[in-house]
Chains A and B, each alone.
Chain A
Amino acid sequence: MTLTDTTAVTRRNRRRASSFGMAVVRFVVTVVTTFLGLLAVTFFIGRVVPIDPALAIVGDRAPAHVVERVREELGLNLPLYQQFWIYIKQALTGDFGTSVLTTNPVMTDIARVFPATIELATIGTIIGALIGVPLGVLAAVKRGSIADQIVRVIGLIGYSVPIFWLGLLALVLFYAKLGWVAYPGRIDIVYEYTFTPATGFFLIDAIWQGQWDVAWDLFRHIILPGGLLGYFSLAYISRMTRSFMLNELQQEYVVAARAKGLSETRIIWFHALRNAAVPLVTVIALSYAGLLEGSVLTETIFSWPGLGLYITNSLQNADMNAVLGGTIVIGAVFIAINILSDLLYRTLDPRTRSR
């Protein structure tokens, strides 16, 4: 190896290292600014939009010295940038203030209710992916057929229907008229005191403890809201699957596989879907994040004791600390899933790896 060769190699290595370093820096900047942006927006909503946050807490009939003391306690007399700095420090330690409604720290409340939301959104995503992906594949393979049209209509309605309205109708039909599912809520009152979950994820706990009657009851409660959220994500997942599959089925390797004499099933499920799976992972992750948000209205309908119901209950009682704390948590998880899915995409797709 000549001298020029080695310098070229080191230069290339250095360039590669610096481009990797740049990527890391860019990634960190993205993450930090996005979370800071979230905090800035909630700070703005909580502190700047209301005319006087102190009045919002004590009410407009409070005597002047009480208002002044609350202002002092909230730090409202400080300049805005100092307030924001304190706000960030508090948020980073998980201190979102105290809920007026439950008198607990907001973070304690959220830690109690959030598992219920995660459980619901997970069930929804599983249903959405298990049905949505095959439907999308079917629509792509039979492009233009009746099946394709039906899948398209199912998806379109999923995009267009108000989810809370569909939930109400589903309750009337499946609970009131048919009696197939349990009433709104997460668990039957009978079990509420006998069942002691180890974690917040009741379904897993019940199965883990071998309490099959409890598990069945939990299932009867979760299936309707979970199915509804599943339909919501199915609309998105099936549409994206169809478009990815159409793209893959036009590729030359599919022609090559056909020429080789592989069966159509094998080509579709083992070759094309495998390549479509890379962007699909991102889509499923994004729909999961969407369900966390979509659960706000669904939980209200089904009295599901999760973060969505917590936020809407707090809204009705003008409990802004709780509302904003819930917003930050949902926002942070949403952002984290976005970033993670992006990273996942990069690791899964060999083409995006730096050579």
Chain B
Amino acid sequence: MIAVPATEKPYSREWLLSEQPTSRHQARLGRAYVIWRRFSANRLALAGLAIILLLILVAIFADVLAPHNPVQGDLRNSRLLPPGSAGYLLGTDDQGRDILSRLIHGSRLTLFVVVLVAIIAAPVGLIIGTVSGYAGGWVDAVLMRITDIFLAFPKLVLALALVAALGPGIENAVLAIAVTSWPPYARIARAETMTFRNSEFISAVKLMGASPFRIVLRHVMPLCLSSLIVRVTLDMAGIILTAAGLGFLGLGAQPPLPEWGAMIASGRRFILDQWWVAAMPGAAILIVSLGFNLLGDGLRDALDPKEAGQ
């Protein structure tokens, strides 16, 4: 086919879908547009995205949205009120605190945990995986052996023991979860690196005199990002559940912080008569981790159509 001069209006649909992008900018935007079209065709994925966006907005505007103080309650008048009571949409807990306000403020802690774990674990896995895959030889053998060792550990139990030694607290919980969640990322990054380690563009960069450090950083890592992002998103739900489990056992965020797992633990005593104290935070965890799972599934299908529906 003869190249048709690009006459489409910039940023129009035709311009984005053009087979002959005239600039790098256009090619990038076009690719993003195609992925977005595939992603948004999946209604469940959009629902997941909406849940996560809502979570972020709630966390940002928690101070404005929360009708009551999340930490201090009205012990005299509003202890263990059922959902739907005047002014307390989701009821109150044993200290007279509004559960809705606590959930709203707890969204910050949830986001704090997942973002921090991702920020720590993903780069660690990315570096280990790309270095291992690009270097090969004994570096690869040693790094992958370490990765496999960590991969073989039971995550929750290891995180539990680590927090027990470090002392309870949300920062230590984050650290423990991060320590147990980087190995799959290293595996993925290595597998991706292996596929284009011997490809021509790497040889070309090498010929131009790029150091291995530069090649890994500038040419290998960016190509591993998309599959890594998918995996991290899919892992978010697991991270939230582990953090909630640690919180439930009293090892995560300490009272009076409104961490959702810890809220379930404190509601456990009243579960038979005042079920909502424990039920509401659990529902919040379920919705958010469902959102991350839907979003991750959608991203995977959009970025990698081969695996769609599998």
Question: Which A residues form the contact surface with B (CB < 8 A)?
Answer: 30, 33-34, 37-38, 41-42, 45-46, 49-50, 143, 156-157, 159-166, 168-169, 171-172, 176, 243, 246-247, 289, 292-294, 296-297, 300, 311-312, 315-316, 318, 320, 323-324, 326-327, 330-331, 334-335, 338
Contacts and interface: CB of A to CB of B under 8 A. Distances in A.
Interface stretch (B25-33, B53-61, B154-162): B154-162
B152 A42 contact: no
B8 interface: no
30 contacts: A33-B145, A34-B148, A34-B149, A34-B152, A37-B146, A45-B164, A45-B165, A49-B166, A156-B293, A159-B289, A160-B237, A160-B293, A161-B282, A162-B244, A162-B282, A163-B241, A164-B264, A165-B244, A165-B281, A168-B268, A169-B282, A172-B271, A172-B275, A316-B250, A326-B157, A327-B157, A331-B153, A331-B157, A334-B154, A335-B152
B211 interface: no
B261 A330 contact: no
B152 A323 contact: no
Nearest to A329: B157
Interface in B115-170: 145-146, 148-150, 152-158, 160-162, 164-166
Contact of B160 (A163, A247, A327): A327
Interface of B: 145-146, 148-150, 152-158, 160-162, 164-166, 237, 241, 244-245, 248-251, 261, 264, 268, 271-272, 275, 278-279, 281-282, 285-286, 289-290, 292-294, 309-310
Given A162-B241, A165-B285, A316-B250, A338 B152 contact: yes
Contact of B286 (A143, A162, A327): A162
Given A159-B237, A168-B264, A46 B152 contact: no
Contacts of B245: 162, 164, 296-297
Contacts of B294: 156
Contact of A311 (B160, B165, B268, B290): B160
B309 A171 contact: no
Contacts of A300: 249
Given A37-B150, A323-B160, A338-B152, A315 B249 contact: yes
List the 10 shortest-distance A-B pairs measured between CB atoms, nearest first: A165-B282, A37-B149, A293-B154, A160-B289, A160-B290, A49-B165, A327-B161, A334-B154, A45-B165, A335-B152
Nearest to B180: A41
Nearest to B291: A160
A248 to B, nearest CB: 12
A316 B162 CA distance: 14
A296 B309 CA distance: 33
A243 B309 CA distance: 9
Contact of B293 (A159, A289, A312): A159
Contact of A327 (B158, B261, B272): B158
Nearest to A53: B165
Contact of B248 (A292, A297, A311): A297
Contacts of B237: 159-160
A293 B158 CA distance: 10
Contact of B279 (A45, A164, A169, A338): A169
A157 B160 CA distance: 24
B158 A165 contact: no
Contacts of B271: 168, 171-172
A239 B293 CA distance: 13
Contacts of B272: 172, 176
B286 A293 contact: no
A166 B160 CA distance: 20
A289 B154 contact: yes
B162 A49 contact: yes
B157 A157 contact: no
B4 to A, nearest CB: 38
Contact of A41 (B153, B156, B261): B153
A143 to B, nearest CB: 7
